[in-house]
């Protein structure tokens, strides 16, 4: 099936080449980090995780979000998603690989990464996170590959593939739950120590993942002859709307508990994010942008006329992606470390090398995604007899 | 636990062989080292420390910090961002957040406190480590295997006391001007970059029956400013101090069971 990936337009090759350049830059800067140490990042003793781990968190959500097309199709036999489950699965593959790369580039001693397997430690959530992510990756590769080759041959896929597809559904929930547990079980980190963390993670994942998938579907429709179908796009829009409403609701619950109880530890990180703490206001514009964009997204997604209009739906989806990214890919980690254990504020901002490495990882993910999508679409076009 | 007990048994066994009591054997093996304290340290089930703030002052704290950092080759990196510290000073507000009030005595308000790893009874740093590079020994010490640590820094997120430092760069390349003569102690290894480190209650000294470097340094000036011993033993020195004084611990409400106490 890979032969589908080596025949493409100039635009396709140009895009891949562009990604390769970014990957090369990222890799070069990573070598610099490898030899100099993580001091080239903005992280410090007090904010000891930063942009890398934040992207891991966000992308686990994207990976889990793919289940929002897999679930209706396999569990409810929702036919309209039949054409795009493969896109959800391949998005999950690319996202999980990015997650793993982000963990890897964050390690101080990357050459020892196998210690996690050599000395398995079941009481560590990181051990479980690596386990569930690896299994989820495998599930998606196996299911995606087999479904696609069956489609190519024009035969139904085997029974066991369907069993694995069923398994992948709760598994998607598990990857993001376990990722939330990385944070939600740490004593003394007030912003993270909340029982609703996993639920918040899932709701934002089920908004952002399908929103991204919806945009990808529209791009695919534009650049290829494969049409994901109006109904699929419309249903995705509805899923994004519901999940995002729940996500915003969960966040408001956090606000209530913090500010009605008036417990300083609960209020401080949120104050830091939205009003600044001890004069440190650098995240404030970001968080208010996220809030404003979230409101725009909510309106566009809730009002039926704008949700059904593809142009405004696209804007709504972009709004969801931007606001959940600021919330999870930026605010969550920094506010978890702020104030620090001594009630002080140590500012953190990613450095240029840190950004370039991150861009390199994103480029790697998009490279994999592009190649996989190219393959899937090639086969779908062939099956539909259009090529 | 390994080294500690093995070493102890070796010494104890030797003393039986030559028909001497434990203490005499220690004196033979390490003459002069015991003068600062009355008895050599033996085994313990739960090492712990009491910091008597009435006997502490800032120069003494600095002396303890210096002794610790020189003994363990902890360099001064020069920037707060990359700082590595095992023992350090912090105000009352920073040390005991949530316990401050507007009407604190001037003494408490202004006095820095000496902070270090609490060698928690229920340590979250150990719970989260994915490689068992951080582990708790049977004598209560929470210690690191720097050769196993992958530098994920999960333990730093989990420790609610900010006790852990990461080697963001290569500590052996710390500015010379700030660290003349580094490494100071040829018997203690320097670290590579990319690993976490923290106070280990001087496990390597305890194995030889010696008190931790900071305790010894403090004892040279004031008797009982830092009291170290087995908290599980009702007859131990720290237990005697705990019986007589009101003490506080950092963030006990988190259930970590800190084993460093402060007399205030
Ligand atoms: S003080 Fe921190 S590093 Fe020390 S044992 Fe407790 S949790 Fe671990
Ligand atoms: S940084 Fe090292 S000691 Fe800390 S949790 Fe990771 S592997 Fe364990």
Architecture of domain B45-263: 2-Layer Sandwich (3.30)
Q: Does B119 sit in the ligand 1 pocket, CB within 6 Å?
A: yes
Nearest by CB to residue B129, choosing from A121, A188, A341, is A121
pLDDT of residue A280: 96
Q: Do B221 and B63 contact (CB within 8 A), yes or no?
A: yes
DSSP at A5: G
pLDDT of residue A225: 87
Contacts of A37 in chain B (CB under 8 A): 167-170, 193-194
Q: Do B90 and B112 contact (CB within 8 A), yes or no?
A: yes
Nearest to B168 by CA among A48, A14, A55, A219: A48
Give the whole-angstrom CA distance, residue A347 versus residue A83: 46
Structural domain total, chain A: 1
> Given CB atoms, is A108 within the 8 Å cutoff of chain B?
yes
CA distances, B56 to each of A157, B64, B108, B250 (Å): 75, 10, 12, 18
Residue count of chain A: 387
Higher pLDDT, B26 or A303: A303
CA distances, A172 to each of A28, A58, A93 (Å): 33, 14, 12
Report which protein residue has its CA nearest ligand 2's atom 7: B149
Q: Do A64 and A175 contact (CB within 8 A), yes or no?
A: yes
Collapsing DSSP to helix, strand or coil, A82 comes out as coil
Mutate to test the pocket of ligand 2, among B128, B133, B168 (most ligand atoms within 8 A of CB): B133
Give the whole-angstrom CA distance, residue B233 versus residue B242: 12
Flag if A115 and B193 touch (Cβ within 8 Å).
no
> Given CB atoms, is A230 within the 8 Å cutoff of chain B?
no
Give the whole-angstrom CA distance, residue A311 versus residue A291: 22
Model confidence, pTM: 0.91
Nearest-atom index, ligand 2, CA of B129: 5
pLDDT of residue A239: 96
pLDDT of residue B197: 97
For chain B, the structural domain boundaries read 1-38, 45-263
Q: Which two tokens stand for residue A271?
A: 């104050």
Collapsing DSSP to helix, strand or coil, A280 comes out as strand
Pairing of strands B260-263, B47-52: parallel
Give the whole-angstrom CA distance, residue A123 versus residue B207: 29
Q: Which two tokens stand for residue A312?
A: 């405004």
pLDDT of residue B38: 53
Nearest to A333 by CA among A48, A38, A130, A44: A48
Q: Does B142 sit in the ligand 2 pocket, CB within 6 Å?
A: no
CATH number assigned to the domain comprising residue A276? 1.20.1630.10
Nearest by CB to residue A186, choosing from B153, B158, B166, is B158
Ranges A194-208, B37-51, B103-117: which has the least confidence: B37-51
pLDDT tens column, B232-246: 999 999 999 999 999
pLDDT at B24 over 70: no
Give the whole-angstrom CA distance, residue A126 versus residue A121: 9
- Give me the tens of pLDDT residue by residue for chain A, a chain 387 residues long: 778 888 888 999 999 999 999 999 999 999 999 999 999 999 999 999 999 999 999 999 999 998 999 999 999 999 999 889 999 999 999 999 999 999 999 999 999 999 999 999 999 999 999 999 999 999 999 999 999 999 888 888 889 999 999 999 999 999 999 999 999 999 999 999 999 999 999 999 999 999 999 999 999 999 888 888 899 999 999 999 999 999 999 999 999 999 999 999 999 999 999 999 999 999 999 999 999 999 999 999 999 999 999 999 999 999 999 999 999 999 999 999 999 999 999 999 999 999 999 999 999 999 999 999 999 999 988 877 754
Flag if B128 and A341 touch (Cβ within 8 Å).
no
Give the whole-angstrom CA distance, residue B118 versus residue B50: 11
Flag if A108 and B169 touch (Cβ within 8 Å).
no
Give the whole-angstrom CA distance, residue B228 versus residue B236: 9
Chain A residue at shortest CA distance from B173: A36
Nearest by CB to residue A186, choosing from B124, B148, B196, is B124
Nearest by CB to residue B156, choosing from A48, A112, A182, is A48
pLDDT tens column, B151-181: 999 999 999 999 999 999 999 999 999 999 9
Interface probe for A, chosen from B131, B156, B164 (most Cβ of A below 10 Å), is: B131
pLDDT band at B9 (very low <50, low <70, confident <90, very high): very low
Report which protein residue has its CA nearest ligand 1's atom 4: B117
Residues 26-85 of A with CB under 8 A from B: 36-39, 41, 43-46, 48-49
Q: Do B65 and B89 contact (CB within 8 A), yes or no?
A: yes
Q: Which two tokens stand for residue B99?
A: 């316990």
Give the whole-angstrom CA distance, residue A21 versus residue A363: 9
Q: Do A311 and A33 contact (CB within 8 A), yes or no?
A: no
Residues 275-334 of A with CB under 8 A from B: none
Report which protein residue has its CA nearest ligand 2's atom 2: B149
CA angle B121, B124, B126 (to 5 degrees): 85
Is the previous residue joined to B183 through a cis bond, with omega within 30 degrees of 0?
Answer: yes
pLDDT at B39 over 90: no
ipTM for this model = 0.93
pLDDT tens column, B191-207: 999 999 999 999 999 99
Give the distance (Å) from ligand 1 centre to CA of residue B52: 20
Give the whole-angstrom CA distance, residue A202 versus residue A239: 13
Q: Does B120 sit in the ligand 1 pocket, CB within 6 Å?
A: yes
CA A283 to chain centre: 21
pLDDT of residue A146: 93
Query: How much is the CA Rg of chain A, to the nearest whole Å?
Result: 21
Q: Does B129 sit in the ligand 2 pocket, CB within 6 Å?
A: yes
Distance from CA of A253 to the nearest CA of B (A): 23
pLDDT band at B1 (very low <50, low <70, confident <90, very high): very low
Nearest by CB to residue B194, choosing from A43, A108, A130, is A108
Q: Does B166 sit in the ligand 1 pocket, CB within 6 Å?
A: no
Give the whole-angstrom CA distance, residue A110 versus residue A119: 15
Give the whole-angstrom CA distance, residue B215 versus residue B229: 10
Residues 77-136 of B with CB under 8 A from A: 80-84, 90, 93-95, 97-98, 124, 127-133
> Given CB atoms, is A109 within the 8 Å cutoff of chain B?
yes
Q: Which two tokens stand for residue A327?
A: 């919330």
Q: Does B133 sit in the ligand 2 pocket, CB within 6 Å?
A: yes
Give the whole-angstrom CA distance, residue A374 versus residue A370: 6
> Given CB atoms, is B156 within the 8 Å cutoff of chain A?
yes
- Taking residue B81's Cβ as centre, other Cβ atoms within 10 Å add up to 18
Q: For the stretch A296-325, what's the b/e string if a residue is b when 16 or more beta carbons lie within 10 angstroms of its beta carbon?
A: bbbebbeeeebbeeeebbbbbbbbbbbbbb
pLDDT tens column, B54-100: 999 999 999 999 999 999 999 999 999 999 999 999 999 999 988 88
| Interface size between A and B, measured as CB pairs under 8 A | 141
pLDDT of residue A338: 94
Nearest to B254 by CA among A336, A187, A192, A342: A187
Domain that holds residue A299: 2-383
Q: Does B260 sit in the ligand 1 pocket, CB within 6 Å?
A: no
Q: Is B84 exposed, middle or buried (0-12, 13-18, 19+ CB in 10 A)?
A: buried
CA B93 to chain centre: 22
Average pLDDT, chain B: 87
Flag if B80 and A44 touch (Cβ within 8 Å).
yes
Residues 16-75 of B with CB under 8 A from A: none
pLDDT at B3 over 80: no
Give the distance (Å) from ligand 2 centre to CA of residue B150: 6
DSSP chain B: -HHHHHHHHHHHHHHHHTT--HHHHHHHHSTTTTTTSSS-----SSEEEEEETTT--HHHHHHHHHHHHHHTT----SSGGG---SSEEE-HHHHSTT---TT--HHHHH--EEE-----SS-HHHHH-TTS-EEE-TTS-EEE-TTT-----HHHHH-TT---EE-SS-GGGS-GGGSTT-S--TTSPPPPTT-EE---TTHHHHTTTPPPHHHHHHHTTSTTSEEEEETT-TTSHHHHHHHHS-EE-SSGGGS----EEEE-
Q: Does B153 sit in the ligand 2 pocket, CB within 6 Å?
A: yes
- Taking residue B110's Cβ as centre, other Cβ atoms within 10 Å add up to 11
Q: Do A319 and A248 contact (CB within 8 A), yes or no?
A: no
Flag if A116 and B130 touch (Cβ within 8 Å).
yes
Give the distance (Å) from ligand 2 centre to CA of residue B201: 18
Contacts of B88 in chain A (CB under 8 A): none
Q: Does B137 sit in the ligand 1 pocket, CB within 6 Å?
A: no
């Amino acid at each position: 099936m890979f032969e589908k990936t080596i025949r493409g337009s100039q635009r396709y090759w140009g895009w891949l080449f562009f990604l390769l350049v970014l990957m090369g830059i990222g890799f070069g800067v990573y070598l610099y980090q490898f030899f100099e140490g993580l001091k080239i990042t903005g992280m410090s003793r007090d904010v000891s995780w930063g942009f890398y781990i934040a992207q891991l968190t966000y992308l686990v959500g994207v990976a889990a979000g793919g289940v929002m097309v897999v679930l209706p199709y396999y569990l409810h036999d929702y036919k309209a998603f039949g054409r795009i489950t493969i896109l959800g699965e391949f998005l999950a593959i690319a996202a999980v690989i990015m997650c793993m790369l982000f963990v890897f580039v964050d390690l101080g001693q990357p050459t020892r990464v196998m210690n996690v397997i050599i000395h398995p430690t079941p009481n560590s959530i990181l051990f479980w996170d690596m386990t569930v992510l690896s299994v989820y990756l495998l599930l998606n590769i196996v299911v995606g590959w087999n479904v696609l080759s069956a489609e190519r041959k024009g035969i139904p896929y085997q029974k066991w593939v369907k069993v694995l597809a069923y398994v992948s559904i709760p598994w998607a929930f598990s990857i993001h739950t376990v990722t939330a547990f990385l944070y939600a079980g740490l004593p003394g980190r007030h912003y993270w120590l909340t029982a609703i963390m996993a639920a918040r993670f899932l709701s934002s994942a089920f908004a952002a993942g399908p929103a991204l998938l919806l945009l990808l579907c529209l791009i695919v429709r534009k650049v290829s002859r494969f049409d994901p179908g109006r109904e699929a796009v419309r249903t995705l829009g509805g899923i994004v709307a519901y999940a995002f409403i729940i996500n915003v609701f969960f966040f408001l619950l956090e606000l209530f508990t913090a500010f009605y109880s008036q417990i300083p530890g609960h209020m401080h990180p949120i104050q830091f994010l939205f009003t600044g703490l001890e004069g440190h206001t650098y995240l404030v514009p970001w968080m208010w942008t996220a809030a404003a964009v979230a409101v725009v997204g909510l309106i566009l997604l809730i009002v039926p006329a704008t949700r059904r209009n593809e142009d405004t739906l696209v804007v709504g989806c972009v709004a969801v992606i931007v606001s959940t990214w600021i919330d999870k890919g930026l605010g969550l980690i920094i506010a978890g470390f702020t104030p620090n254990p001594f009630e002080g504020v140590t500012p953190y901002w990613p450095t240029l090398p840190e950004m370039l490495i991150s861009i390199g990882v994103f480029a790697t993910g998009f490279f994999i995604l592009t190649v996989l999508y190219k393959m899937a679409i090639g086969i779908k076009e062939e099956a539909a007899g259009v090529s | 636990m390994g080294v500690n007990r093995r070493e102890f048994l070796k010494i104890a066994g030797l003393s039986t062989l030559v028909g001497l009591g434990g203490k005499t054997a220690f004196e033979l093996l390490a003459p002069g080292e015991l003068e600062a304290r009355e008895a050599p340290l033996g085994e313990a089930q739960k090492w712990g420390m009491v910091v008597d703030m009435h006997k502490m002052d800032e120069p003494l704290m600095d002396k303890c910090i210096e002794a610790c950092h020189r003994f363990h080759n902890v360099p001064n990196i020069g920037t707060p961002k990359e700082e590595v510290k095992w023992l350090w000073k912090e105000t009352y507000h920073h040390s005991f957040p949530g316990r401050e009030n507007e009407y604190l005595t001037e003494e408490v308000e202004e006095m820095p406190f000496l902070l270090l790893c609490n060698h928690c009874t229920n340590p979250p740093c150990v719970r989260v480590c994915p490689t068992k590079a951080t582990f708790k020994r049977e004598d209560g010490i929470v210690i690191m295997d720097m050769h196993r640590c992958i530098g994920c820094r999960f333990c730093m997120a989990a420790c609610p006391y900010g006790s852990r430092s990461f080697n963001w760069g290569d500590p052996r390349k710390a500015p010379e001007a700030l660290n003349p003569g580094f490494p100071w102690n040829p018997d203690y290894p320097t670290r590579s970059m990319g690993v976490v480190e923290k106070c280990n209650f001087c496990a390597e000294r305890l194995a030889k029956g010696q008190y931790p470097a900071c305790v010894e340094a403090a004892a040279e000036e004031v008797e009982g400013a830092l009291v170290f011993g087995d908290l599980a033993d009702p007859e131990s020195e720290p237990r005697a101090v705990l019986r007589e004084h009101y003490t506080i611990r950092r963030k006990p409400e988190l259930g970590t069971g800190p084993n460093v106490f402060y007399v205030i």
